[in-house]
Structure 1
């Protein structure tokens, strides 16, 4: 049987501090064939950022044209700039059997699921073991001011409230255990019937073989 499968659009979402970025990095190290969806943005590049690597940097008219033409899987307006996921590179990847990883919020996840590629999505939401632990992790990162941490905490409940719209929900109380579960989910989802386009032809071959044997 043709072993080439279709790739998956793997959506990881969580409130900030729940461990999503670390788990995404571990997935990329575990399977180097995974690619990360490079977002497009209308904001200018920051020092050291490279076009096509960190982001696809677009002028506003070009970004809006892609949205109008249906060439963005998802898009959002955040702090005065637009961000989105171009569909073309993702479609090429999954047709070639490569999985694409998305780091988006629940709104982005919903748009991707409702897109033309929605049937190939796998959505996973990462929950913290407690709100107190979520706050502790944000403080321990040492990246944000108290004000920013407060805003992230305020936003976290809105994000958590959408957990029910995801295919899988994992409580990240232990990073190694959560990562092991993530690998199990991914391996199983890769074998779903819609991800194996060669199955139909294979079964037809079995049927023809059976009919020949009965003749």
Structure 2
């Protein structure tokens, strides 16, 4: 992609986003992480719209997003996927995600600390590989399970998707305290929609 390509996501750094959020017509921040990750630490005023929900209900959500939007995730990878799904010119991505935001000592809201999804994937994948290799000492052939996990991680890297991450996102641990169904998200977007200026 070239910089002039209209589908290239615009990136905004943490400092610029902080300035934009204090302006009169600041952007809406959509955090595409799991509700559990969102509870762990999020930008004040952000809306939690998990990536799978955004993909499934794109049209309904876009009807309530007519202003500037900044997509946020942990590092920028899921926000880039969400950008591809939304496909609007007024969408930007927080460069470096929450890692960059927190590195600048920007304010965050915390509800309950949890491991982020990428860390959970590393733990589960590593645990399966270790168990398969050790288990193959007793059950020959079990090492192929480790090979299967390795192949899955390669596919995840090549396609920039992660089946294991999508499965882990559905666990109760990752659900969080905020309700993340379509109706509740649309309700919050409507409640905070910019009001038209009154005419004299």
TM-score (norm 1): 0.28
Q: Could you say which structure has the greater relative contact order, defined with CA pairs below 8 angstroms and 6 or more residues apart?
A: 1
TM-score (norm 2): 0.29
